Amino acid sequence: GKSMTIDVRIEGTEQESTRMVEEIEKICVIRSQSNFYPNRGATKEGRVYLKLDISDKSENTCVCCGEIIPEGRHVCPYCECGE
């Protein structure tokens, strides 16, 4: 499958940023993540920087169960064996 790396900046409070990183981890591979950098002044907001691997999931997933599989396959070994 095709993949590429993109840079993402998340802005918000530290709690909001942490929650967004957890959601992003469910759908992407996070290559690197910065610390939370607070904004200047009387605010609780700041930012976190991520490098994400984005791939065409349809090309890397089992057509039966959706598990990530090696490139060039259509069915994962478990579904192939009937497990």
Q: Determine which of 7-11, 14-18, 54-58 has the lowest per-residue pLDDT on average.
A: 54-58
Tokens 């959601």 appear where? 23
For the chain, percent of residues with pLDDT exceeding 70: 90
pLDDT for the residue numbered 61: 77
What pLDDT digit, counting tens, does each position of 45-70 carry?
999 999 998 765 556 777 888 777 77
Mean pLDDT of 34-46: 95
Cα distance between residue 41 and residue 44, in whole Å: 9
